[in-house]
Amino acid sequence: MATWVEFWDSPHAIYVNARHRDVHYLRIAEDIARYVPKNGLVLDYGCGEALHADIPAAITEQLILCEAAPKVREGLVERFKGDQKILVVSPEQLATFEDHSLDLIVLHSVAQYLTPEELDRLLVTFHRLLKNDGLLVLGDIIPPQTSAATDAFALLRFGWSNGFFIAAWFGLLRTVLSRYWSLRSTLGLTRYDKDEMLRKITHADFWATRADKNIGHNQKRSTYLARPGLYAVR
């Protein structure tokens, strides 16, 4: 994962303009908030810049933002300093968290940048951290048949709905020439169909199901919901 972490920790042009960046994080924050229990302890693992983390944080007792990229993490610390409801941590710090202490864990748009073995290890960690009645949300899981063109059309539709359609066209052209495209071509993105993802989650001792709607703008990708301690799959 190190190469992908380095990419996200460096300047990049994934967001075509400031409007795209803002509504991207706003949509994710609003979608995550639907799963947040009132006054619960929530972990957002691989949160990125989390521009609108205040939205789910307003519902929680505490929102824990976990980010592997050091510069992004420093930006989070600066953005949310003084906010007693938001804590920023590194992945390594999760080892110090008490077992079965969290009500909700969100892993959104991260699994595609992990190897299957890395995701397996994370699922073990999440199982340890979640309360017995807690919820794990895995968002933006990419099915094997999803192409780069599918992602491009999803971005254009999102741009049309949110006022950055022309910028999205130019942004796609920049992406093809960018380091992101080079990494996507060489490292690839890890993809799972429904049966593969359900098997992987249940192998880590979760009960799992696919949600009706994906977190974020791209509805060609999937979100899965998992609870510890049960073994039935549907």
pLDDT one-digit tens code per residue, 90-148: 999 999 999 999 999 999 999 999 999 999 999 999 999 999 999 999 999 999 988 88
pLDDT one-digit tens code per residue, 51-85: 999 999 999 999 999 999 999 999 999 999 989 99
What is the structure's pLDDT at 72?
96
- Rg (the chain; Cα; Å): 17
The structural domains of the chain, ordered by start, are 17-144+190-228 (3.40.50.150)
| Chain centroid offset of residue 136 CA | 12
How many CA within 13 A on the CB side of residue 18? Answer: 0
| Helical pair 165-176 and 148-162, crossing angle rounded to 10 deg | 150
Confidence of residue 12 (pLDDT cuts 50, 70, 90): confident
CA distances from 95 to 49, 124, 128, 173 (A): 22, 12, 10, 41
The vertex-128 CA angle with 122 and 132, nearest 5°, equals 125
**Euclidean distance between CA atoms 227 and 230, whole angstroms:** 7
Structure tokens at 58: 């307003």
What is the structure's pLDDT at 177?
65
More confident residue, 170 or 32: 32
What is the structure's pLDDT at 93?
97
**Euclidean distance between CA atoms 60 and 85, whole angstroms:** 8
Closest CA relative to residue 57, chosen from 75, 38, 77, 72: 38
Is pLDDT at 22 greater than 90 in this prediction?
yes
What is the structure's pLDDT at 230?
54
Residues in the chain: 234
**Euclidean distance between CA atoms 3 and 89, whole angstroms:** 20
pLDDT one-digit tens code per residue, 187-231: 889 999 999 999 999 999 999 999 999 999 999 999 999 999 754
pLDDT one-digit tens code per residue, 23-59: 999 999 999 999 999 999 999 999 999 999 999 999 9
Phi, psi of 131 (to 5 degrees): -65, 160
Confidence of residue 171 (pLDDT cuts 50, 70, 90): confident
Q: For every residue of the chain, which 3-state class applies, written as one string?
A: CHHHHHHHCCCCCCCCCHHHHHHHHHHHHHHHHCCCCCCCEEEEECCCCCCCCHHHHCCCCEEEEECCCHHHHHHHHHHCCCCCCEEEECHHHHHHCCCCCEEEEEEECCHHHCCHHHHHHHHHHHHHHEEEEEEEEEEEECCCCCCHHHHHHHHHHHHHHHCCHHHHHHHHHHHHCCHHHHHHHHCCCCCCCHHHHHHHHHHCCEEEEECCCCCCCCCCCEEEEEEECCCCEC
